[in-house]
Amino acid sequence: MTLAWTATEMMTVVSARALRSSDVCFVGIGLPSAACNLARLTHAPGITLIYESGTLATRPTVLPLSIADGELCETALTTVSVPEMFRYWLQGGRITVGFLPGAQIDRFANLNTTVIGSYDKPVTRLPGSGGAPEIMTHCGEIFVTMKQSRRSFVDKLDFITTFGHGEGGDHRARLGIRTKGPTRLITDLCVFEPDPETKEMTVTSLHPGITRREVQDATGWPVRFADRVEDTAMPTESELGTLRDLHARTRRAQGLAS
């Protein structure tokens, strides 16, 4: 039987596979939450999930609508104040992996979530930074998840909200940042990882049926491909079944049709 999946399901599965049972993960709402809980329900049962509202070792039975969803407190080992979560857990270096999205990203995985266009007279004003700069700086490593298009994968950001690899090379280290920064950029087309020397995001894996030309056409800079580009493994029946069951439970809990 040939399995069918959506682009979002592929991104979620690929993100989940990158997580380990030993990880302490700073979870975002949406796809990151689905990926982290898919990992917890499959190959990484020991993973520790921390949400921005201060819930620690959270094990939700359904996906939360927001960081204020009561499901998080009810299924957490404990809940701490937001200042304690940021100061002790995040800035204390106790979180191994964080997830971040962006409205725009450049070749060094710097992110823009502030404005499209000029800052003084923007075409679109975006939500802003939130805790993203602190998450990018203090988590052991960062997974960025974004759907890929020339509109969002740009040669030059309109505004740098969150510092990824800066200008590349040792820029993070020169600023005294000791964490790895973005180690994976997971899109609906492929997976990028930073070049070991330049830190430019480089394609290391193509999703099933995706060509190099499609990746380049959806990117606003000349894409680098690794010497050996892997084929992303297709989602398994078990992965898709677990993920879809999680979403179905969530819809039922929200009073929506499954």
For 112-168, write each residue's pLDDT tens digit: 999 999 999 999 999 999 899 999 999 999 999 999 999 999 999 999 999 999 999
For 169-223, write each residue's pLDDT tens digit: 999 999 999 999 999 999 999 999 999 999 999 999 999 999 999 999 999 999 9
So where are the chain's domains? Answer: 7-253
pLDDT at position 2 is 61
pLDDT at position 3 is 78
pLDDT at position 257 over 80: no
How far is Cα 158 from Cα 131, in angstroms, rounded to an integer? Answer: 20
Domain 7-253 has CATH 3.40.1080.10: yes
Q: Catalytic amino acids?
A: 52
- Closest of 144, 163, 58, 139 to residue 101, by C-alpha: 144
For 85-95, write each residue's pLDDT tens digit: 999 999 999 99
Identify the burial level of 98 via C-beta atoms within 10 angstroms of its C-beta, where 0-12 means exposed, 13-18 middle and 19 or more buried. Answer: buried
Q: Are 193 and 200 in contact (CB under 8 A)?
A: no
Full-model pTM? 0.94
